[in-house]
Amino acid sequence: MKLVPRFLLKIFSRVARPYLSTYGLLLTAKVFNRSALVWSPGDERIVVIAPHMDDEVIGCGGTLARHLAKGARITVIFLTDGRHGGSIPKDAPGIEASARPPALAEVRKAEARAALAELGIRDLIFLDAEDCHVGSASGLKDSLRKHLQEIKPNLVYLPFFLEEHPDHRAASQILLEATRDTALQFRCHGYEVWTPLFPNCLVNIDETIDLKRKSIAHYKSQLTESDYLHTAIGLNAYRSSALLSNCQYAEAFCALSLPQYRELYEAYSHHL
């Protein structure tokens, strides 16, 4: 991953603090002379954008469970069908392990339904773009725009645009194109999956970490090749070090309004 340039951090500091103060996020704790901005999820109307099945749980599963406990309405929108990622589990009913990619896509969708049901989420939308082609997928931004205008979220979770995976980076581009020249207004919470981000928002997930573990465990097609459960929970344990409470696990986000997220994304893109 390219190092975050100094100018980007300056922009981040300028646009983030007034926004965070507005939403009550400036409850800071000092650890190693760094601020941890602590936030408690509420009953927002939420859309989660996930390029692939499992990104949503790894990036913000514990936080989503906390939202649900407060009565939030959550819709998860998967950008791809997962046809090229992972392996068909040996115990997948009625499916030969060599029958891919169509069969793998169906397995991954079934895993997503089970994983999110574990958290209590049943509103799932599959846009079925091809893996590794999110940035060039025809009609993807129009489909996303239609769903966003129907749902009218006041909070959208998506992979932060500095993510290493190209589909993860492209998710921000698709969202910003889908919302351009619309009346949509919501907060963006960029989450981390492959690449640790520069967070301005932390959520304590001690009470929901077991749900997150159980949810990730449903993604057997992904866990057959890499122990994402171990690495995801490890990242959450590391993030807890920024909090002064007895927190053991936390999820980290870049939290900005949609216009501020767009400004930050465009400033970074123009200096590549």
Query: What is the tens place of the pLDDT at every residue in 201-253?
Result: 999 999 999 999 999 999 998 887 788 899 999 999 999 988 767 899 999 99
Q: Which is nearest to 81 in space by CA: 153, 133, 46?
A: 133
Looking from the CA of 6 toward its CB, the CA atoms found within 13 Å total 0
- Enter the tokens of residue 47: 């859309």
State mean pLDDT over 92-99: 52
Q: Which helix (H) or strand (E) holds 214?
A: helix 209-217
| Cis peptide bond prior to 101, omega within 30° of 0 | yes
- For 6-269, CATH gives 3.40.50.10320
Instruction: Tell me the domain boundaries of the chain.
Output: 6-269
Name the more confident of 144 and 246: 144
Q: In the sheet that 45-50 helps form, which strands lie side by side, from edge to edge?
A: 123-129, 73-80, 45-50, 155-159, 187-191, 250-257, 201-204
The arithmetic mean of pLDDT across residues 46-54, rounded, is 97
Does the pLDDT at position 114 exceed 80? yes
pLDDT over threshold 50, residue 40? yes
- pLDDT (mean) for 119-139: 90
Percent of residues in the chain assigned helix, strand, coil, to nearest 5: 45, 20, 35
Q: If we measure between CA atoms, which residue out of 177, 113, 179, 115 comes closest to residue 151?
A: 179
Res. 4 pLDDT band, cuts 50 70 90: low
Given a cut of 60, is residue 77 above it in pLDDT? yes
**What is the C-alpha separation between 185 and 170, in angstroms, rounded?**
20
Q: How far apart are CA 12 and CA 7, in angstroms?
A: 9
Share of the chain above pLDDT 90, in %: 63
Highest mean pLDDT among 8-12, 27-31, 88-92, 141-145: 141-145
Chain centroid to CA 69: 19
pLDDT tens-digit series, residues 161-175:
999 899 999 999 999
| pTM (two decimals) | 0.86
* Contact (Cβ atoms closer than 8 angstroms) between residue 237 and residue 229: no
Higher pLDDT, 28 or 244: 244
In the chain, what percentage of residues exceed pLDDT 70?
Answer: 79
The per-residue pLDDT for 154 is 96
Q: Which residues contact 258 (CB under 8 A, 6 or more apart)?
A: 156, 179, 184, 185, 186, 187, 188
Query: In this predicted structure, which of 73-77, 108-112, 148-152, 221-225 has the lowest mean pLDDT?
Result: 221-225
pLDDT at 145 > cutoff 60: yes
